[in-house]
Structure 1
Amino acid sequence: MERKPYVDKYYMTEVDSFEDSIYCHHAMMGESFIAEHAHQKGQFLYTEGGIVFVKTEEKSYFLPARHYIWIPGGIKHSIHPSSPEVVMRNLYFPKFDTDTSFFDKVNIYPVNDFLIEFIMFTNRWTGNIFPVEEPKYSIAKAFKLILPEVSQTELPLALPYPKHEKLKDIVSYLEHRIHENISFKMLANEFDVSERTLARLFQRELNMSFIQYYTILRMLTALKLLLDDKLSVNEVALRVGYNSLPTFSNTFNKIIGVRPSEYVKNKNLLF
Structure 2
Amino acid sequence: MSKYYLTEVDKEPHTVYCRHDLMGERVLKAHQHAKGQFLYTEGGIVHIKTDEKTYFLPARHYIWIPPNTMHTIRTTSVEATMRNLYFEVQDTDSDFFRHTGIYPVNDLLFEMLLYTHRWTGDISPQNNAAGYAFTTAIKAILPEMSSYSLPLSLPYPTDARLENIVDYMSKNLHEQVTFSHLAKQFGFSERSLARLFHKDVDMSFVQFFTLQRMLKALEYLLEEKKNVNEVAFLVGYNSVPTFSNTFQKVIGLRPSEYIKLRGVQD
Candidates 174, 177, 180, aligned match of 2:172: 177
Give the aligned partner of residue 130 of structure 1: 124
Deviation at 1:202, TM superposition (A): 0.7
CA deviations on 1:72-123 (whole Å, 9 max, x unpaired) are 1111111111111101100000123541221112111111122111111222
Q: Specify the code of the residue in structure 1 equivalent to 2:212.
A: L
* One-letter amino acid of the counterpart of residue 213, structure 1: F
- Confirm or deny that 1:144 pairs with 2:172: no
SS at match of 1:15: coil
Tell whether the 8 Å contact from 2:58 to 2:222 is kept in structure 1 after alignment: no
Instruction: Look up the SS of the partner of 2:89 in the other structure.
Output: coil
Gaps of 5+ in 2: none
Determine whether 1:81 maps to 2:93: no
Q: Is the 1:54–1:77 contact (alpha carbons within 8 Å) kept by the matching residues of 2?
A: yes
Residue 92 (structure 1) aligns with: 86
Q: For the residues of structure 1 that align with 2:206 and 2:236, how far apart are their CA atoms?
A: 13
Q: Is the 8 A contact 1:48 1:270 kept in 2?
A: no
Residues in 1 aligned to 2:161 and 2:6: alpha-carbon distance in whole angstroms: 37
SS in 1 for 2:37: strand
The equivalent residue for 1:121 is 115
8 Å contact 1:56–1:78 — kept in the other structure? yes
Q: Secondary structure at the match of 2:29?
A: strand
User: For residue 181 of structure 2, what is the amino acid of its counterpart?
Assistant: M
> Residue type matched to 2:200 in 1?
E
Shift of 1:267: 4.5
C-alpha separation between the residues in 2 aligned to 1:41 and 1:35? 17
Alignment match, 1:56:
50
Superposed CA deviations along residues 156-207 of structure 1, whole A, max 9, x for unmatched, are 2111221212212211221121111223233223333232222211111001
**Matched length:** 265
**Whole-Å separation in 2 of the counterparts to 1:166 and 1:269:** 37
C-alpha distance 59-229 of structure 1, shift in aligned 2 (>3 A): closer
For the 8 Å contact 1:21–1:130, the answer to whether it is kept is yes
Match of 1:239 among 234, 237, 242: 234
Equivalent residue number for residue 3 of structure 1: none
Which stretch shifts more, 188-197 or 8-17? 188-197
CA offsets 1:10-49 (integer angstroms, 9 cap, x no match): 1111111111000001111122221111111000000111
Task: Tell me the residue number matched to 1:67.
Answer: 61
Q: What code does the residue aligned with 1:113 have?
A: D
State the TM-score, normalizing by the size of structure 1: 0.91
2:174 and 2:236 in contact (8 A); partners too: yes
Provide the identity percentage: 55
CA RMSD of aligned residues (A): 1.9
Q: Which amino acid aligns with 2:240?
A: L
CA–CA distance in structure 2, aligned partners of residues 107 and 230 of structure 1: 25
Q: Which runs of 5 or more residues in structure 1 are unaligned?
A: 1-5
- Which stretch of structure 1 is more off in the superposition, 13-22 or 174-183? 174-183
8 A Cα contact 1:57 1:77, kept in partner:
yes
SS of alignment partner, residue 236 of structure 2: coil
Confirm whether residue 250 of structure 1 aligns to residue 245 of structure 2.
Answer: yes
